[in-house]
Each structure stands twice: as structure tokens, then as C-alpha cells.
Structure 1
Amino acid sequence: MESLGWLILHGIGTCAYAASGAFVALQVKYRIIGVFVLGLTTSFGGGVIRNTVIGVPVTSLWDRETLLLVIGTLAVLVLLSTKWIRHWKKWGFFFDSIGLASFSLQGALYAKHINDNLGMTIMAALFTGIGGGYS
């Protein structure tokens, strides 16, 4: 059972990674589909790579609550778009570091649970942290 603090940390990390992708898309003036694709990719990309590497079905990544959280975050950012790009540059590294730390730890713990191989655990932490990904 995950603690409330851990779930909040993952929620912040997931939103931060989604926002990171969305702001990049908004800066280069992508349309709404591009914003959502890039936001979803940065939120779940590392988890997809991790699950592929350790041999776990990729469909185990998406639960309803997490997907709704990411889509809601992206919808709000599309509506607020240009007003928040300036603020994201200021606070983006802070929230990205929370996401990086929480996703790296989660990736390592998930891989250790599936396969007790140290190299696989390190690789899973690396891919999940860098690419983002909620499991």
C-alpha cells in the first residue's frame, strides 16, 4: 500500500512531466493535438520503455485516475497557455526534479519487485526517471 505522501509526490511529478511536454509544444506553437501527444509522451514515455525492457505489459501503465490527471493538467495548460510559459521557465526545474526523483525511485522499486537483477533495476530507474512514467 502506497502512502499518501508518495501518491502526492507521484501526482506532482506526473503533472510536472505533462506540463513540461505541453510547454515545449506551446512554445513552438503546436496545435492542441500536438500539446496532448507531447504531454502524454513525457508523462508515460519512461514507463513504457521500462516495462518493455523488463518484460511487463505496457498496458499496466495506465490507470484511469492517472490518465485523467494528465489529461486534466494538459487541458488546463492549453486554456492558460501563453500566460504560464514565463512562470514555467522559473519553476520548471523544481517540479521536474521532483518528478525525476519520484519516477526513478518508483522505476527501481518496480523492477526490483519484478526481477531482482541489479543491472535491470538501475536501467529501469534510469529510463523511468529520464522519460517519466507512472506505473
Structure 2
Amino acid sequence: MFKIHEKLKKIRQIRGYNQADMAKQLGMSVASYSRIEAGKTNLNIDCLKKICKVLEIELIDLLENNIQFLAEPKVGYEKRATLKEHQEKKTIESLIEENNLLLKTMLNLLEQQKETNNKLLTFLIKRKK
């Protein structure tokens, strides 16, 4: 079973980054990042999230004991991103369809109002004569 700092090192290597690359992306010194991979630094959740973003993995993948996702770099991340994009697209399409239905309803109501106004106007004109 890998510890988090060991997983970070393994994933970084799979991604083809060196410690200097990671440190630069995270806005810290190489020595600070090196201490993370050595397990000499306690990591807070914000730091872990930043590291996961750079490595293009989900935090849950890092925290789980399942290391299968290490075998295929970025695949899991891309699949989740694609799924999320698909879900967002479906949501947007659904909202557009709902909006179109509302617009059609409003148009029908306006047509009815126009007919009512025309009838009222005709009535008033006849009454005035």
C-alpha cells in the first residue's frame, strides 16, 4: 500500500515531471516540494488539491488505496472531465429546450392578448358610433 507522498512521487514520474517542475507549478521551492515527497511535511487539503490539479488527478484517487489509475496517465482524469462536460452539455441542452418551451408559451399568450385587445378595440369603436 502506497502512502500519499509515495503516490505523489510515482504519479509525478509517470507524468514526466521533475521536482523542479512541480515546485514551479505550485509556487514553492524545490526543497519544499522535495520534503512533501519525502513525507517530511504535513499536507493540508488545499495543498493536496493544488498538487492534484497539476498532476491532473482527482483528490479521491490520491487518497484511495487503489493505485490502478497510475498505470494509465491522465486517462481517468480525462474520462471524468469528458463525462462532466457531457453532463454539463446535457444540462445546457435541457435548459435551452425548457427556455424554448417557455418562449413559445409566452408567444401564444401574447397572441391571445392581441386577439383580445383587437376584439375590445372593435367593440369600443362600434359602441362609439
TM range (shorter): under 0.3
Q: TM-score when scaled to structure 1?
A: 0.24
Larger radius of gyration: 2
Larger relative contact order, structure 1 or 2 (CA cutoff 8 Å, min sep 6): 1
